[in-house]
A and B are shown apart, each in its own frame.
Chain A
Amino acid sequence: MESEDQPAFKTRGLAKTYGEGASAVHALRGVELEIPKGELVVLLGPSGSGKSTLLNILGGIDRATAGEALFHGDDLVRMDDRRLTRYRRKHVGFVFQFYNLMPSLTARENVELVAEIADKPMDAMEALERVGLKNRADHFPSELSGGEQQRVAIARAIAKQPSVLFCDEPTGALDIKTGIGVLRALQELNSTLGATTLIITHAAATGAIADRVLNLADGQLRNVEINAVKKKPEELDW
């Protein structure tokens, strides 16, 4: 089944509708896309265009109402709850806008939390080192700044050596400078670990750091840009 040239994700007619009848909200209306393995992808679009919905479906935490979403050839839409959980556990790393760290665990323990249930985890300290937080390993989230917390969240996401990494507005709660740091970490990890990375952002300029930029509008994929050359986050002009 799995072959080298198979894309990481491929969707066909992917749709998500909330509610029924006249009051139905069509969050996604037939999304067709392909994301090759290992690419860094940025997802752009106005508020309410369906970015989070798409990412959540691909990440296996939400379910489409119609269409297909193939991950390495397996349809996520048709997976039951158990298989979705296994999918998330084996393959997916998440970075959320609000970090979602466990307040009762230190940075290192937050990373270990995920490493413990992974197949071939990276050492927690190594993961923290990659995001430049090795020296804060024994601090609790309440003792870290927002950017630091987000980097712990990234360390947590990569510690399991995921094949895909999803980031929903990872810089949304951060100032520009801190945001750049987070993006740099993500870009670097994408190139060194080879995990297919999908980042949602509101800043159109961010698209320049990606291999591929998906523009979403009104629940549909409007256009796809492919960058021959990726910029570094610090080279972006805001």
Chain B
Amino acid sequence: MNELFGGMATLNKKLWRDLLRVKGQVLAIVLVIGAGIALLVMSRGMVASLDTTMRVYYARYQFADIFAPAKRAPNRLLADLRAIDGVSAAQGRIVGGGLVDLPEEAAPISAQFVSIDPDAPRRINNVAIARGVPPSSTRGGEALVLEPFAAAHGLGPGDEIAVTMHGARRVFRISGTANAPEFIYIIPPGDFAPDPARFAVLWVTREEMEAAYDLDGAFNEAVLTLSHGVDEKPVIAALDRILAPYGATGAYARADQISNKYLTEEMKQFAVMDSVMAPLFLIVSAFLLNVVMTRLVQTERTQIGLLKSFGYSNATIGLHYLMFALTIALIGTGVGWIGGLQLGRMITKVYQLYFHFPFLIFVPDFRTLNWALLSSGLTAGFGGTLAVIAAARLAPAIAMRPPAPPNYRRGASSGRGLFRIDQPTRMFMRRIVRQPVRAALTVIGIGAAMGLAVMMRFNLNAIDYMLNASFNVIDRSDILVTFAEPLSDATMYQFRNIEGVLYVEAVRSTPARFSHAGSERLAGITGIPDAPVLNRPLDSQLRQIESHGDGVLLARQYAEILNIGVGDMLTVEVREGRRPTLELPVAGFVEAMIGTPIYMKKTALDRALKEPGRISGVLLKIDPNESERIYARLKNMPMVAGVSLRREAYRNFRKLLDEGPGTFRAIMTLVSIIIAIGVVYNNARIAFIERERDLATLRILGFTKIETGYVLLGELAALTIIALPVGSLIGYLLWTYVAAAMSTDLYMIPTVVKAAGFGYAAIVVIAAGIMAGGFVQRDINRFDLVPVLKSRE
């Protein structure tokens, strides 16, 4: 050990001096490592925080493992449900749709009513009271309101709220507000974007719910918890069997519960991001470290030789240089950790717009620290090892000689060809050609930065494309009105007669279980008119699919989910009315970016269901100037159970995306600029140091500062230009990977590629290059010419 550490104290002093001497480059590397670690800390911390909070929240409030909706099931059935193998508890509740009528809101707001038994112990799907108290079972007329909704409208305990439930108007007094595990992500039914202001949840006593929905002694949704480690599948099958006679639409597990699904998908997306980003950053850092270390060892050959001749061992010297790399990595990790905590807190605030927990605190995942240290240590290891080996290998005698000058020899590319190029250009072109590995590494480094920017840009484009395609091309309606139960299609006339309604399109949808070749999915099937105008099935080129006979059109994602192709027969077990089981041919696939719809012609669906002329809702196209009046009419139509304002939702969604992912993208763009500057600057600095003497000589020979700068910056510019197509390619590959990995059946991220995205990234990289070039030009401007002449090397 003494052998190894003897003399380390002196070397440690040298270490600090070395670090200070190349502080510009150290800073660049620290920033790049820091950026990588910060992203890692942020995204892992965010996932860990969401995950922990979610688990604690779910456990404390007994979030159900299984949900089993039905039409009307007698309470006595609960005993049968509890008897199913693996079920630890089962409770029946009544849930129903309806509207809330707020005086200051023109449009009715979709509401969900949920029965609550304030006196029962250990309620499944319990609520976390935020303000006030649960509704009193004795007083009556009281409701507990979802806190984010109440907050959005300035409602609180003591206020009154007018509602329409099951077609009847009522007024409830708000006894309190609450959050609940099933409403962390608050998305109005039939909508695609979270909007706590436009979705009310009211918990009222069981007695009131029974009365309102005519469900005396019955429930319409069973919620169950399972014993630890029980497989859900057989339980779901058993539930479907038991509840089938009572109008069950199909039990589903927590994983398919909408709020939970969004939450878990979001966490998955974070994980995808960090699986791409973190390695990218660390590779770039390793490359930067390697460049700097190699240069350091080269300039210190003489010193190394001297140390060795004094008797310092190879290991001691190797360790010294490794320490240099590790110190940088350690500082980078520290910076990244602190930066990651800040980013984490920032992003947590953003996430509270989407996910409504009673509490959400960003807590770094301390396992990440090990990970960060390990990966930055490995980075330093990889980056430094080559240089360290070189240093340790240097024989004392060789080290004392100046390094062999760059060996330029006459060769194929001496550049004296058809056209004349000036000597400064020739100088940098030769340097690139004669040191291809270094040039390639630089190009890849810059390309990585650009790739990141490309990916970010495409992500933005994809969201634009997705929203535009979904709301301006696929579904052109302004309002979706849903009914509590299917009604006669004569109802459409009532809507046509409203002044300002330009077009009414019938919607018929019914829940069903779809299966093919062993794969299955619970979803809805939507009957569309023969010639749909508002909501249209489009192919991948966004062209309307005109003729599909009596077959079904599936969202493209189902090809994989159900392992099915055009012409195959799809089994559809309808979970409504007479509950027929149908065998329908797949007529084609439709492009859907939000949700995963299944369409067939309404006429064909009617025939299959043997229920002609029924509709479950209407899509409206309206004159925007008449919207207030139309909203007011909708408030007073008893059959209306839900109103979803597509336009408004679209705008809200846009706003939300700008705030949330917008922040994230801003961070990522900043980070890609840091990488680009880091790589370009580092390369420029090294080139500068290596050629200080040549550059000073040029100045002495009468070259101006700019002309001298050109020799150096011309090389950087050339490498940057070469890096542009490389970066485009890297960006494209990253993007296709990320888009595929992040697509879920909630959102399909389209891999649209716009040339402008490459242009944008190119501008980012070029701007970074110009900045780095500016730093180096500054060094050139400050040149002291005399010392250069005094030394040989």
Contact = CB atoms under 8 A, between A and B. Distances in A.
A89 interface: yes
B786 A92 contact: no
B21 interface: no
A124 to B, nearest CB: 10
Given A85-B702, A141-B405, A100 B697 contact: yes
Contacts of A126: none
B494 interface: no
Nearest to B694: A102
Nearest to A97: B789
Interface in B682-736: 693-694, 697-705, 707
B424 A85 contact: no
B409 A61 contact: no
A68 interface: no
A168 to B, nearest CB: 7
A94 to B, nearest CB: 6
Nearest to A96: B789
A183 B174 CA distance: 105
Contacts of B703: 85, 89, 117
A88 interface: yes
Contacts of B423: 102, 105, 109-110, 112-113, 116
A100 B705 CA distance: 18
B558 to A, nearest CB: 61
Contacts of B414: 106, 138
A58 to B, nearest CB: 13
A52 B788 CA distance: 13
B408 interface: yes
Given A90-B702, A94-B700, A109-B423, A103 B409 contact: no
A114 B697 CA distance: 11
Given A109-B423, A109-B426, A117 B702 contact: yes
Contacts of A59: 700
B786 A104 contact: no
B543 to A, nearest CB: 58
A103 B406 contact: yes
A104 B407 CA distance: 8
Contacts of B792: 98
A156 B698 CA distance: 12
Interface string B486-500: 000000000000000
Interface in B403-421: 405-410, 414
Contacts of A138: 410, 414
Interface stretch (B391-399, B427-435, B532-540): B427-435
A98 B699 contact: no
Nearest to B702: A89
A138 B434 CA distance: 17
B422 interface: yes
Nearest to A173: B792
A104 B785 contact: no
Contact of B427 (A61, A88, A102): A102
Contacts of A106: 410, 414
Nearest to B409: A140
Interface in A56-105: 56, 59, 61-62, 82, 85-86, 88-90, 92, 94, 96-98, 100, 102-105
A220 to B, nearest CB: 20
A86 B701 CA distance: 10
B784 to A, nearest CB: 9
Interface residues of A, number: 38
Contacts of B693: 100
A202 B423 CA distance: 34
A76 B609 CA distance: 102
Nearest to A89: B702
A117 B707 contact: yes
Contact of A100 (B406, B430, B707, B789): B789
Contact of B408 (A97, A142, A156): A142
B704 A168 contact: no
Contacts of B406: 103-104, 142
Interface in B745-793: 785-786, 788-792
A140 to B, nearest CB: 4
Contacts of A105: 423, 426-427, 430
A59 to B, nearest CB: 8
A39 to B, nearest CB: 23
B745 to A, nearest CB: 59
Contacts of A94: 700-701
Given A94-B700, A138-B414, A143 B430 contact: no
A139 interface: yes
Interface string B568-603: 000000000000000000000000000000000000
Contacts of A92: 702
A140 B410 contact: yes
A82 B700 CA distance: 12
Given A104-B431, A113-B423, A142 B407 contact: yes
Contacts of B786: 56, 61-62
A85 B780 CA distance: 14
Nearest to A118: B702
B699 A85 contact: yes
A61 B785 contact: yes
Contacts of A143: 409-410
Nearest to B431: A104
Contacts of B426: 104-105, 109
Residue from A56, A82, A86, A98 having most chain B Cβ neighbours under 10 A:
A98
A139 B701 contact: no
Residue from B422, B423, B785 having most chain A Cβ neighbours under 10 A:
B423
Contact of B697 (A90, A102, A139): A102
Contact of A88 (B408, B410, B701): B701
A102 B786 CA distance: 17
B409 A88 contact: no
A88 B700 contact: yes
A92 B785 CA distance: 15
A160 B701 CA distance: 10
A98 B423 CA distance: 21
B694 A103 contact: yes
Nearest to B781: A81
Nearest to A100: B697
A104 B430 contact: yes
A56 B700 CA distance: 10
A168 B405 contact: no
Contacts of B434: 104
A159 to B, nearest CB: 11
A103 B405 contact: yes
B785 A103 contact: no
Contacts of B698: 113
A103 B430 CA distance: 10
7 contacts: A59-B700, A85-B703, A88-B700, A89-B702, A114-B702, A141-B408, A142-B409
Give 5 closest A-B pairs by Cβ, nearest first: A89-B702, A113-B423, A88-B702, A140-B408, A100-B697
Given A62-B786, A116-B423, 19 more contacts: A56-B786, A82-B704, A85-B703, A88-B702, A89-B703, A96-B697, A98-B789, A98-B792, A100-B693, A100-B700, A104-B426, A110-B423, A112-B423, A113-B424, A116-B422, A117-B702, A142-B408, A142-B409, A143-B410
